[in-house]
Amino acid sequence: MVDLTVSIISNDNRDLVLKCIESVYGCAEGLALEVIVIENASTDGSEGAIRQGFQDVRLIVNEVKEGFSANHNKAIRAASGSFVFLLNDDTVVHKGALRLMVEFMRANPAAGAAGGFLINPDGTPQLTGRATPTLAAAAMVSLGLHRLFPDNPVTSKYYRKQETFPGPVEVESINGSAVMLRKDAAEKVGLLDEGFFLFCEDVDLSIRLRKAGYRLYLLPDSKVTHYRGKSTGGRRMVWVYHRSLLRFYRKHFAKDRPFLLNLLVYVGIYLRFIVYWLYGNVRKRA
């Protein structure tokens, strides 16, 4: 009987994905694991290295690159475990993390998902447990005002300070880089929205789980080192990110907002895209 299915997308990060898989098996600690790796049309020899190094891995090979949601959905549908741990290939799971998460999910049937506590390679915490974004918070983050005024009341709830979490804490949204889903809950509300190639799909799923009555938690003792940006770099991601913002806004906010406000938001997202795209060009030339 499988206790846990782990889903990892391998995306041209051979050294990191091998380290990630090794960490998963290294902290199984008595759990019956099923590890599914979606080899996302990598060109760096990842497929051969995974086959050679981890014969127990269930490998799904894509001929063309697919998005975060589409790839993880393949693993969720194929999963034998009651819980599915979605894990970035640029992560390392710490000892005890998987067992703690499985035990928590078993003990809390109302929990639809639980997030691992993401930390940087230097041990400092990343922003893992979040509130559902508001329009005001999104505007301040887009303008960079949350960095100038880190303790402002608009964004401080969204970017929660996690250093002092004494134990499991309920949150509104969980970072998809390391999140354990209750498989039947995900199937009930619908799997990850494949309209999001990358970005925003974790917040979208969090909203749908909470609307269905499930609760979301962050587990500070389940630590996962995240080499942030190793899977999402590149100028193409600028457009992918802003396209996801547009889809997310239309899906969850636009129908309840007046036309002029929606128009202002759309213009703002496009202007932000142009600025970031031009900035990317400047950085590339430099």
If you compute the radius of gyration of the chain from its CA atoms, what whole number of angstroms results? Answer: 19
Confidence class of residue 233 from pLDDT cuts 50, 70 and 90?
low
pTM given for the model: 0.90
Q: Closest by alpha carbon to 25, among 14, 36, 16, 33?
A: 33
Query: Is 132 a residue whose pLDDT tops 80?
Result: no
H-only helix segments in 36-142: 46-53, 68-78, 97-107, 135-142
Query: Is 163 a residue whose pLDDT tops 70?
Result: no
Percent share of the chain, pLDDT over 70: 85
**3-state SS class at 34:** strand
Give the span between the Cα atoms of 263 and 268, in whole angstroms: 8
Give the span between the Cα atoms of 27 and 238, in whole angstroms: 35
Identify the pLDDT of residue 231. 56
Identify the pLDDT of residue 164. 60
Contact yes or no for 77/5 (Cβ under 8 A): no
For the purposes of burial, counting CB atoms within 10 Å of the CB of 141, is it exposed (0-12), middle (13-18) or buried (19 or more)? middle
Confidence class of residue 156 from pLDDT cuts 50, 70 and 90?
low
Confidence class of residue 275 from pLDDT cuts 50, 70 and 90?
confident
Q: How many CB atoms lie within 10 A of CB 70?
A: 21
Provide mean pLDDT across the span 96-116. Answer: 97
Give the span between the Cα atoms of 226 and 126, in whole angstroms: 8
Provide mean pLDDT across the span 204-222. Answer: 96
Identify the pLDDT of residue 158. 64
What are the tokens at 241? 């990110």
Q: How many CB atoms lie within 10 A of CB 95?
A: 11
Give the span between the Cα atoms of 238 and 133, in whole angstroms: 20
Q: How distant is the alpha carbon of residue 119 from its chain centre?
A: 14
What secondary structure does DSSP assign to 183-200, as a single string? HHHHHHH-S--TT-SSSS
Q: CA torsion sign, 73 to 231 to 33 to 216?
A: negative
Query: Is 29 a residue whose pLDDT tops 60?
Result: yes
Confidence class of residue 286 from pLDDT cuts 50, 70 and 90?
very low
Provide mean pLDDT across the span 248-255. Answer: 91
Provide mean pLDDT across the span 116-136. Answer: 81
Provide mean pLDDT across the span 72-88. Answer: 97
What are the tokens at 33? 């694991």
Query: Is 177 a residue whose pLDDT tops 60?
Result: yes
Provide mean pLDDT across the span 265-279. Answer: 86
Contact yes or no for 227/121 (Cβ under 8 A): yes
**3-state SS class at 252:** helix
For residue 167, CA distances in Å to 117, 129, 130, 212, 216 come to 11, 13, 16, 25, 14
Identify the pLDDT of residue 151. 73
48-75 pLDDT, tens digit per residue, is 999 999 999 999 999 999 999 999 999 9
Confidence class of residue 285 from pLDDT cuts 50, 70 and 90?
very low
Percent share of the chain, pLDDT over 90: 66
Query: Is 193 a residue whose pLDDT tops 80?
Result: yes
Query: Is 146 a residue whose pLDDT tops 70?
Result: no
Confidence class of residue 228 from pLDDT cuts 50, 70 and 90?
confident
Provide mean pLDDT across the span 198-203. Answer: 92
Dihedrals φ, ψ of 86, to 5°? -85, 125
